[in-house]
Chain A
Amino acid sequence: MEPENDLLEQQLPTPAQIREQGYTLLVPTMLPTHFKIMEGILRSYGYKAELLENSGESVVEHGLKYVHNDTCYPALLVIGQLLSAIESGRYDKHRLTLLITQTGGGCRASNYIRLLRKALAKAGYGYIPVLSLNLSGLEKNSTLPLDLGLGTRLLLAALCGDLLMLLRNQVKPYETEPGAARALERRWVERLAGVLSRGSAVSYFGIRRIYRQIVRDFAAIPVQGARKVRVGIVGEIFVKFSPLGNNELEEFLAGENTEVVMPGLIDFCMYCAHSSLTDARLFGLHRVKGLVFGLALELLEGMQKDLIRAVKASGRFDAPTPFAHVARLAKPLISPGAKMGEGWLLTGEMVELIEQGVNNIVCVQPFGCLPNHIVGKGMLKPLKERYPEANIVAVDYDAAATRINQENRIKLMLSNAALQA
């Protein structure tokens, strides 16, 4: 970097200043449901958080312009979306912060934040501060400060987001009144943002009651028709969840008369904690950290169990699979040591889906995704040997990959699904 940038870097406001001075905090779209709740929580903590909704050509173009074009597509999109927002004229550029998540680990994804800073400098916005949301101790000086309260609230938002996504996917294909499930989801997102906001007295007991209410509300939506073909989506976390990343895959599949099944975000969080355990057990690294994350994992598993119980109690909806079980399912195929990117979890989720009877799976990844060569595409053959009924299509996403090619391949998978049904 040029010296000017170094100077500027030193003058960047601290996270505390960002909050106190009323900087707008832009959040890229990864999980529309979950992040919307989190946006509300961050606001209650004094951040002027705003979940971005811009999409389209301008996002991709900004990405292509400022990010090395061989970098993975999610980086290109996230950075493109942020830069396109900066230049949209809607924000005061000198009162703006960007938030980006970082998992840490041997994948390129840990570098997104640095690539974002590089892109900002290149575009002449070196003065815009970037905050990292991570639990790995990366980017010490510019991490969003997570105290126990905020951390817990974000975690609960992830769980509730998973629940809303799960139920919406199971109700939407059958609703008699189009749009009812989405509308209910939106209402709950708003309510949850309030319930989980700072200062509101939220007890874990209360959350469990809310789970039941959500389940009841979705169960009350009038539905009709026979069960449709179910299609699972697994893959690299960004293109799996973000409509921006996967060309609105969920919408496409809904239009093809299917029911979408998507393993949730909380599994990924647990997988991250599990990775630290693996580091300690298998590689003899960071044993203390391993202990802490081991405890955290147990806690999370307990929370997931509560959620599962609430769904099961309905007697109508399919509940998520407990994390520990997914881990057990993955083990015969791939070692828990495979922990870069989505690692063994991706393989495990495919097995989990098949075990639930969801044989039809779209495995999505950014073009050239390194871990997915192994944990995604590399596992298809052994998976099919073990589960001959599996009907999986791997689809690459990329700035220049076209929707028509992607949809044609998915249609082939769907044709076979119809044959099996």
Chain B
Amino acid sequence: MRTDRTDTGANALCLGIDLGSTTAKVVLAEGERILYEKYRRHFSQVRETLLALLEEAEPLIGGRRFRCALSGSAGLGLAQAASLPFVQEVFATAETVRRAEPDTDVVIELGGEDAKIIFFRGGLDERMNGSCAGGTGAFIDQMATLLDLTPDEMDRLSLESERLYPIASRCGVFAKSDIQPLLNQGARKADVAASIYQAVVNQTIAGLAQGRKIEGKVMFLGGPLSFCLGLRRRFTETLHLTEENALFPDYARFSVAMGAALYAARQSQELDLEELRARLRDAERAGGGLASEPPLFENQAELDAFIHRHQRADLRRGDLTRARGRAYLGIDCGSTTTKFVLLGEDNELLYSFYDSNRGSPVEIVRQQLKELYAQCGDRVTIAAAAVTGYGEDLIRHAFHLDLGLVETLAHLKAAQHFQPDVDFILDIGGQDIKCFKVRHGAIDSIMLNEACSSGCGSFIETFARSLGYGVEAFSQLGLLAKHPVSLGTRCTVFMNSSVKQAQKDGATVEDISAGLSLSVVRNAIYKVIRASSAAELGENIVVQGGTFLNNAVLRNFERELGRPVIRPEIAGLMGAFGAALYAKSQAKPEGSSILGPEELELFSHRVHAAVCGGCANACRLTVNLFDRGERYISGNRCERGLGIKKAPGEGLNLYEFKRRLLEETASRPGPAQKSRGVLGLPMALGMYELLPLWHGILSALGFQVLVSGASTRQTYLKGQQSIPSDTACYPAKLMHGHVEELIEKGVDGLFCPCVVYNVEEGASDNHYNCPVVAYYPELLKGNVDELRQVKFLYPYLNIADRQALAHELWAYLHKNGYALHRQEVRAAVDRGFEAYERYEAAVRAEGQRVLARARQEGKRILILAGRPYHIDPEISHGIDKLCESLGFAVVSEDSVWRLAQGRPELGVLNQWTYHARLYRAAQFACENPDVELVQLVSFGCGLDAITSDEVKEILERNGKLYTQIKIDEITNLGAVRIRLRSLLGALEEREAAYGT
């Protein structure tokens, strides 16, 4: 393949061009000497930016002929179309480093949207981030936007950090849903900034290194690492690098372009500047073959009619400067924005406010209240005030508002004002998509977007900014686009690369704008609502949320549904409007408790951090201190963080009970005398159910059994560097940490069977485990190096057949040097099953007890339905305790499924043991009016893509509400709390409506 090697004379002129996802870089070299290097953000105008850069280099090139090569993700298509040599960017980097710093061991390069790692020692190994890990330069930019900082400011601030918050590191969207609530709860921006960089570091280690240790001389390249000092610091600290081993060369930005120049030197093709320009210009006309949608509007007249129609849904406006009497305040403290609405006695709009909360909602509210009081003067008094949204608790405490209400309810009240018969509400806000069906004036079912698909308002906004536009101007562009592009409906990360592809194919900014709004709409309809036709939604649809103020989104939505909908002019204020209506309906004659103008002057707010020591969840608390010594604590899952104590065993919580039961099993003493050594059992995945079985068998065989402790964030971090697939579920990823922990504790061996067939409970057509649970030990064996220090036992065992199990286990142990009698093993298997059956019976009995007690006390019963391993506090993040604190008695699916009278009719193949329990548990909920079901779904669980639709169908067929909570590394419970409170709110409303 080296036929292209021609004369590479000492002063051959070479041009290396690196066209990345966000910037264009050019390096002109003459032999070893660099004549010119320059980079510029291209705002997707790749060709134009490149031509401009070339023009600046013209004086240096003159009429000389040169060799040239392109690199970078945006260079790929252009090179093809202009028939210029192309070199893959990682390859180019390696070439530069080999030349410049030959004793480098590892290179970490972060680009605009790609992250790469190169290992030079022990076999060259080059890797790029997978398709689900876009959090790099663009991610840092997005986060800076979120903090209302420039990237430089964020960097400077990060150097002043005092603590790090855990922020999900896998993908930008996740990180965002962690950061937003932190900000809303008053976390310091400096700490958040540093935590964001730490998330990038963690992701590089987990997502890229995948089992290879980053050590020796490490070179850091690419844009973000060339200017973010804070990011550099996080990398060097996390990797424990000494100063001489952490290389930050000054050509960090240009390594790819330099590699391209080196590659160019080996090409035979020579050309001059004019030729190059001509080729680039000609390439423009190539492309095409782009999937496009019909334009949103054929002409201006059609657009005008559309706008006119929607203007009709509006409130009467009052004049605050002249108004007198009582007024009602509603505040919606959302994830990215804060909204105010002040209503008069006749629901006329006296005052409104809508702005980004710039990462400090308390300050925004204070300023706005001040402004409001100034305008009210002595004429208008606030008779009642209510707050809703993410920041509800904080704002209510800070400013002594009278009322708080869950946002779903606020939106319902607002929508009913415009359309009393509303039967479907879709709200797309900055960070959330919320939809609810309404029946008999009460919420009937609620769907919220998963943390993964936040293709919402803030997404368009950050995208617009990255292209150099304001969000309004950007959406205007889309309205009259000729060929809107189809960009797919997955997450932001994917969307970025879809846009890249579209640009490569010649789409204009107008087409992309229209396409993005279509993506938002399709995401909402097909992913969140899971509808396939308009009829499924309803007759009278109200849409709201700031994102619907974007006419392109609105038009796409009506078009996709094929029917007109109502969008109030105050679409962005509906939460606040609903809160104001609520305040008005609940107003007391004595007036509001809200801080008055004088008190507001004295208002002060400070924030500090703490960790709760109440239990293993170790909630990171944010303590807000207000004037006069008042404080408000957030970040807690249960009352303990607030200093409220509860006696053990008091609770009605099966999750807690199971955890205790398993702990008891784990601490049961082993055999007294003869011991065959210490075997470790990693407490993850299937072990959460089968611990009594394996513990029983192994103890009976004379092994000392050591069980790993409960998972924590540390467990994950300990094992993350050996995880080969970053899209596997969190419960599986935790396995790595457990295994390492046991090895550190000095076990002789690890017992981790591959359980393909699970217990047969007669409730399904087959009784498989999911592929990940079944085969994860195989993956551990191949990827966790430390396992070589111990005996790793991972037999394939069929636990549904005792005889086969005993036989296989005997044979396997025999092969591994344990001389046992068949009889002995058979007896041990029986002991194991006795223990397992005892465990199961105890769980069932506790289920009965909790049901009975709850009914006695008139409590609502909640089946928190998931898998056995969802009781792991690090997996379910204490959601069980949260449910308990909201007043539910919590039972698990395995404790109640047998109580179902009937068998639900299923549309899918029912072939997994754990999942069969879900269906039966759902059936049980349907048979009992006081029982609700909430399904816990781990992100990346492929099987739940099948079960969740099915469980939902079972419940809804029987008039029950379906709630799904997707969980991953995410540690903040704000969104979960809103969901659960919405569920509660909906139940209460329903009861009021039906009178049950």
Contact = CB atoms under 8 A, between A and B. Distances in A.
A107 B756 CA distance: 11
A301 interface: no
A399 B77 contact: no
Contacts of B754: 335, 337-338
Contacts of B782: 333-334, 378-379, 381-382
Contact of A381 (B210, B756, B766, B945): B210
B943 A68 contact: no
Contact of A404 (B497, B527, B766, B945): B497
A1 B957 CA distance: 8
Contacts of A72: 942
A400 B494 contact: yes
A393 to B, nearest CB: 9
A377 B723 CA distance: 10
Given A283-B757, A284-B803, A334 B778 contact: yes
B774 A340 contact: yes
A236 to B, nearest CB: 12
B817 interface: no
B131 A367 contact: yes
A282 interface: yes
A146 interface: no
A418 interface: yes
A107 B911 CA distance: 9
Given A65-B532, A400-B498, A416-B91, A341 B771 contact: yes
B132 interface: yes
Interface in A1-17: 1
A28 interface: no
Contacts of B291: 56-57
B437 interface: no
Interface string A68-90: 11111000000000000000000
Contacts of B948: 68
B808 interface: yes
B920 interface: no
A216 interface: no
A282 B808 contact: yes
B136 interface: no
Nearest to A122: B532
A212 interface: no
Interface stretch (A110-118, A162-170, A172-180, A191-199): A110-118
Interface string B803-833: 1100110000000000000000000000000
B126 interface: yes
B757 A396 contact: no
B798 A283 contact: yes
Given A106-B756, A337-B796, A412-B90, A404 B504 contact: yes
Contacts of B498: 400, 402
B128 A335 contact: no
Interface in B158-201: none
Most buried by B among A56, A66, A370: A370
B801 A421 contact: no
Contacts of A138: 909
B158 to A, nearest CB: 29
Contacts of A282: 796, 798, 808
A218 to B, nearest CB: 26
B659 interface: no
Nearest to A119: B532
Nearest to A395: B131
B19 to A, nearest CB: 12
A133 B497 CA distance: 38
Interface string B487-516: 011110011011011001000000000000
A64 interface: yes
Contacts of A396: 130-132, 727
B383 to A, nearest CB: 47
B281 to A, nearest CB: 22
Contact of A283 (B89, B756, B905, B945): B756
Nearest to A105: B768
B73 interface: yes
A398 interface: yes
Nearest to A396: B131
B73 A115 contact: no
B724 A380 contact: yes
B908 interface: yes
Contacts of B490: 69, 398-400
A399 B300 CA distance: 34
A399 B291 CA distance: 14
A114 B908 contact: yes
> For chain B, which range describes its interface: under 10, 10 to 19, 20 to 34, or 35 or more residues?
35 or more
Given A337-B756, A401-B494, A404-B76, A384 B125 contact: yes
Contacts of A1: 905, 907
Interface residues of A, number: 77
Nearest to A61: B486
A118 B952 CA distance: 14
Contact of B88 (A333, A370, A378, A412): A412
A409 interface: yes
Contacts of B77: 404
A370 B770 contact: yes
Interface string A377-421: 111111010001000001010111111111111011011101001
A350 interface: no
Contact of B908 (A115, A377, A379): A115
Contacts of A404: 73, 76-77, 497, 500-501, 504
B42 to A, nearest CB: 16
A339 interface: yes
Interface in A339-361: 339-341
A127 to B, nearest CB: 16
A412 B128 contact: yes
B756 A378 contact: no
A283 B801 contact: yes
B783 interface: yes
Given A122-B532, A340-B775, A408 B88 contact: yes
A114 B796 contact: no
A108 B532 contact: no
B1 A368 contact: no
Contacts of A338: 754, 774-775, 778
Contacts of B486: 57
A64 B775 CA distance: 30
B211 interface: yes
A263 interface: no
A229 interface: yes
A395 B501 CA distance: 17
B519 to A, nearest CB: 9
Contact of B774 (A66, A106, A229): A106
A223 interface: no
Contacts of B126: 412, 416
A337 B88 CA distance: 39
A184 interface: no
B759 to A, nearest CB: 13
A115 B943 CA distance: 12
Contacts of B757: 283, 285
A93 interface: no
A402 B500 contact: yes
Nearest to B1: A418
B993 interface: no
Contacts of A399: 488-490
B949 interface: yes
Given A334-B778, A339-B756, A384-B123, 9 more contacts: A106-B774, A108-B942, A368-B727, A368-B940, A374-B772, A378-B779, A384-B125, A404-B501, A411-B88
**Top-8 shortest CB links A-B:** A284-B804, A400-B488, A106-B768, A378-B779, A400-B490, A337-B796, A382-B782, A283-B798
25 contacts: A56-B291, A64-B522, A68-B945, A70-B944, A72-B942, A106-B768, A106-B771, A111-B908, A121-B907, A138-B909, A282-B798, A340-B774, A367-B727, A379-B779, A396-B131, A396-B132, A399-B488, A400-B494, A402-B494, A404-B497, A407-B76, A411-B86, A412-B88, A418-B1, A421-B1
